[in-house]
Structure 1
């Protein structure tokens, strides 16, 4: 039976809690203009960033583009 991790290591010992690489910043937006929000995290396992508006995930909304590494681009039409 193969082991999922090398002997002598515990999966818990390799965990690092998420930390912000770049602090979050307030943004002012003008209706109709493009806004870029950035969220850069580090940790192990790699943290997952989810962007929500009014409690709903915006990843499938055509007005929002979620980029790799946590950036969100909002196109307000």
Structure 2
């Protein structure tokens, strides 16, 4: 009752986060013309068991279209 699904959690950090700061026209989606802020993970979090999610790590972070972290 008090929990989120994986898809709800991702939406909370992306689409809904952009909406909360009135930036839904520039952020929150991978879409032409939007800011390129993404994280590439070491595994597919949809295919990873919930109890193993703590093992997934960021591999690359891109902010504003520029690589800001790379493992």
Give the TM-score band, short-chain normalised. under 0.3
TM-score when normalising by structure 1: 0.24
Higher strand share: 1
Which structure has the greater CA radius of gyration? 1
Greater relative CO (CA pairs within 8 A, separation 6+): 1
TM-score when normalising by structure 2: 0.25
